[in-house]
Structure formats: structure tokens, C-alpha cells
Amino acid sequence: MSNTKPNVLVLRAPGTNCDVETAYAFELAGAHAERIHINRLLEDPALPDRFQILCFPGGFSFGDDVASGRILAATIHHHLTETIQRFRDAKKLVLGICNGFQILIKSGILIPEDGHGLRATLTWNKSGVYTDRWARLAADGDKCVFLRGVKELYLPVAHAEGRFAARSEEVLDELEKAGCLALRYVSEDNPNGAARDVAGVCDETGRVFGLMPHPERHIDATQHPRWTRLAPGARPKNPETAGDGFILFKNAVDYFQ
């Protein structure tokens, strides 16, 4: 156990636009966060060694050309696989939010490929359009480090390619049995038609986690879209009262303390 602040590497690329608020959320939770460009990591693959948490934030990396997160995912897959694997093997944490989730999935970091390629992906919403709203979520099991002690969340979603899909029902069964389908939309609040209402997935260790909703956009209770309409007793008593998303960052920091 240590009282030293864990160091967080918030990885950004051209088009990333949620790195500042994500770094702030980690800082608020008690970590020290640095926003670092992907080019610096390519120049020095040993750079992550001094960090305990690696975060891929939201946005539109490389303009989401080809497909959301695909270019950065390919860059990581071809040049940084060993770096990320070494980071994971050291029992450190990896988080991907929205575009970051897409990167984790499409690079094979979160769900490893098999002889036929990717076993799951994130594809276009069933509506065929960009969706920007809030959604109710429920944690499924306690495997995921980031979701420890969490039962329900209310977080914003903002994506066009957020629908979780697997190659087959057998793949979904395997992931579910392993406890990897860690976060689900409440069925009637599924904004994209994701298979089995999946909103977030962790690896078999519970230390690598990706989710489509944006926890960094609800770290303060006053960011709730209806906080002024809550019953007086349920309203935040001061502006420092935490929003639902804050617990993910706090759990990550507490993991190292």
C-alpha cells in the first residue's frame, strides 16, 4: 500500500478532444496526470514505464477516417503491441473511453484476436446516426477494477459507432461467462442497439476496461441534466459533490493505494 499519487498517461492524437477533462478527472481523484501525444510514445516505447495508468480518452482520433479509432488502433497494433503488453503484465491499469474503447477493441488489446481476426468490434449505431444523450447503466459483476462497488450509473453517450457486436453468439457467451461484459445499458435505454446491451467490456484480469459512455462528463453532481429538478433532499449540497462518473477514476487511483 502506498500514499504516493499514481501517474496517469492520457494518450492523445490528432482529433482527440476529451483529454483535458479526462486528465482533470484523474487529478480530482488523487492522481497525477500527463497528456502525451502518440508521437512521443512512438519515439520512446519505454515512456509508459513510469506510469501506473494508461488512458485512451474520447474524441475523433485521426478524424475517425476509415472507421472510428481504426488508424490509431492500427498504429498501436503494428508498433506498440509489446509496449502495451509489458504495461499490462506489470499489473497496471488501462482505460479506454468512447473513441478510446474503439481503439482498445480494434487494436486487439482488450479482446485478443484469434486465428480469424477480431472476435468483437464496435460498429455503427442501429439508428445509423450520431447519438448524443444520457443513458442508464448497470454494472455486471465485480471483476472490473474500475467498477468496484458500482451498481448503477447515469452517464452521457456521444457516438456514431458505439454498437458492440461479436462474431457469434458463442463469442458473446464466452465473454459473458468470463465476466468480461462488465457494463450494460438498462435495456430500454440502449442508445445504439448493442448486443446484450453491452456498454463496457473488461479483459479477464479486470484491469483493462473500455466503455462507450463518458464518465469524465459526470464527475460533479451538478453536471446531471436534471439536478435542479431533483427533490430538495437529493440535490447536491455543494458543488464538490461527485457525479456518477467520478467513482471510475477514484477506483483506479485507490487500486494503487
202 part of the active site: no
- Please give the Cα distance from 228 to 234 (Å, whole number): 10
Residue 206: is its pLDDT beyond 60? yes
Catalytic entry in 98, 144, 180, 202:
98
Looking at residue 60, its amino acid is F
- In this prediction, residue 195 has a pLDDT band, given cuts at 50, 70 and 90, of very high
Confidence of residue 67 (pLDDT cuts 50, 70, 90): confident
Percent of the chain's residues with pLDDT above 90: 85
Report whether pLDDT(236) > 80. no
User: Domain 7-255: which topology?
Assistant: Rossmann fold (3.40.50)
Mention every residue, 6+ apart, whose C-beta is less than 8 A from residue 157: 98, 131, 132, 133, 134, 135, 191, 192, 212, 213, 214
Q: Can 216 be counted among the known catalytic residues? A: yes
Helical axes 70-79 vs 99-106, angle rounded to 10°: 40
List the chain domain ranges: 7-255
> What is the rounded average pLDDT of the residues 165-187?
97
Question: By three-state DSSP, how is residue 142 classified?
Answer: coil
Instruction: Share the mean pLDDT of the chain.
Output: 93
Range 155-173 average pLDDT: 97
If pLDDT is split at 50, 70 and 90, which confidence band does 227 have?
confident
Confidence of residue 222 (pLDDT cuts 50, 70, 90): confident
For residue 94, what pLDDT is reported? 98
CA distances to 3, 70, 81, 145, 155 from 53, rounded to whole Å, are 16, 22, 16, 12, 22
User: What does each C-alpha distance from 17 to 67, 107, 148, 197, 225 come to in angstroms?
Assistant: 17, 20, 27, 26, 21
More confident: 234 or 222: 222
Catalytic, out of 55, 180, 216, 218: 216
Global pTM reads: 0.94
Q: How many CA atoms lie within 13 A of 201 on its CB side?
A: 34
Indicate if the pLDDT at residue 249 is higher than 80: yes
Give dist(CA 184, CA 186) in Å, integer.
6
pLDDT of residue 238: 52
Q: Is the pLDDT of residue 12 over 90?
A: yes
